[in-house]
Amino acid sequence: MALTICVLGSGSSGNSTYVGTEATGVLVDAGLSARETLRRVEAAGLSTSRLSAVLVTHEHGDHTAGLSVLHRRHKLSLYANSGTIDNYVKAKNREEVADSLKWNVFQTGAPFELGDLRVDPFSVPHDALDPVGFIFTCQSIKIGVVTDMGMATTLIRERLRHCRVLVVEANHDLHMLKNSGRPWSLIQRILSRQGHLSNEALADMLGEIGHTGMTDVFLAHLSRDCNDPALAEKHVRKALDKQGHSHIRLHLTYPDKPSFTVQVD
Ligand SMILES: [Zn+2]
Ligand SMILES: [Zn+2]
């Protein structure tokens, strides 16, 4: 059994990641339009016919913009916890679609089965109502997907520690963010425990949790203004190499096109 993973789009303009087996395909988040999401699934050489569900990490628009059309027009099932659903429905202009959405409600910390995938949602710190990351398990293969986290908590490190492949946030370079000219209040929000993860913090976490069985790491949710892909890669590469994890491949992700597709078996 093989697991396939591809980050279809990433960044503040829209996030969506494909995770699938031969039988089951799911999306983590639907921050691109429905049409663009499906176009990118095909552009990545993956099958849209296998797609059955969208799993939502949190209610922010860059993770939910295409969700309602994917559900109503393309019949994908929706999975989220009740905090995410409540805040999604409360958000402006969504009242009219809220009634037409049928949700599968999971509880943070309670694993569930979706086809031949086991899905384990776990808590992450971010300025949303009950945001989560996911571990996907198929047979003995584990993949971790966690973006939008203000800090790499002990729980996050523990959950990601045994994964073969990770999609993780490398949001900003600390120096670039502090010198970005953005309002100080916004900079403070991004830097807070409920904000986004820096290249430096990610490098620190990966240096610690990297292991011989980890093969690939996707760097996701890169800020266009406050990060540089080469810099993000450099920070993480250095930390991995220093800890003897030079075998781990790094993949960039993009706002406007799918990433490299990784298949593990
Ligand atoms: Zn967010
Ligand atoms: Zn986001």
Please provide the DSSP assignment of 224-253 as one string.
TTT--HHHHHHHHHHHHHHTT-TT-EEEE-
Write out the two tokens for 186.
């916004």
Residue predicted with more confidence, 92 or 142 = 142
CATH classification of the domain holding 20: 3.60.15.10
193-207 mean pLDDT: 96
Q: Which ligand is nearest to the CA of 58?
A: 1
Give the separation between CA 71 and CA 77, rounded to whole angstroms: 6
Q: What's the confidence (pLDDT) of residue 92?
A: 59
Predicted local confidence at residue 90, as pLDDT: 84
pLDDT at 80 over 70: yes
User: Helix H segments across 161-220?
Assistant: 174-178, 184-191, 199-209
Q: 93-102, 227-236, 239-248: which range is least confident on average? A: 93-102
High-pLDDT (> 90) share of the chain, %: 94
Q: DSSP code of 172?
A: B
What confidence tier does 1 reach under pLDDT thresholds 50, 70, 90?
confident
Percentage of the chain with pLDDT > 70?
97
Contacts of 85 (CB under 8 A, 6+ apart): 59, 103, 105
- The C-alpha atoms of residue 86 and residue 105 are separated, in whole angstroms, by 11
pLDDT at position 94 is 60
pLDDT level of residue 13 (50, 70, 90 thresholds): very high
Q: pLDDT grade, residue 255 (50/70/90)?
A: very high
140 Cα to the center of ligand 2, angstroms: 29
Give the mean pLDDT of 185-202: 95
96 pLDDT above the threshold of 70 = no
**pLDDT of 239 over the 70 cut:** yes
Indicate the pTM of the whole model: 0.96
- d(CA 203, ligand 1 centre) in Å: 20
pLDDT attached to residue 95: 62
Answer whether residue 10 shows pLDDT above 90. yes
What mean pLDDT, rounded, does the chain reach?
95
Nearest ligand to the C-alpha of residue 127? 1
Domain count, the chain: 1
Predicted confidence (pLDDT) at residue 242 exceeds the cutoff of 90 = yes
pLDDT at 98: 67
Q: Which listed ligand is nearest to 129 at the C-alpha? A: 1
d(CA 202, ligand 2 centre) in Å: 16
Distance, in Å, from the CA atom of 27 to the CA atom of 19, rounded to the nearest integer, reads: 6
Report long-range pairs for 179-186 (Cβ below 8 Å, ≥24 apart). 180/225, 180/226, 182/225, 182/226
Domain range enclosing 27: 3-264
Find the ligand nearest to 31 CA. Answer: 2
Average pLDDT over residues 197-226: 97
**Which SS3 state, helix, strand or coil, does residue 27 take?**
strand
Calculated CA dihedral for residues 132, 49, 116, 217, nearest 10 degrees: -50
Rounded to an integer, the average pLDDT of 5-34 is 97
Ligand nearest to the CA of residue 15, numbered in listed order: 2
Residue pair 6/251 in contact (Cβ under 8 Å)? The answer is no
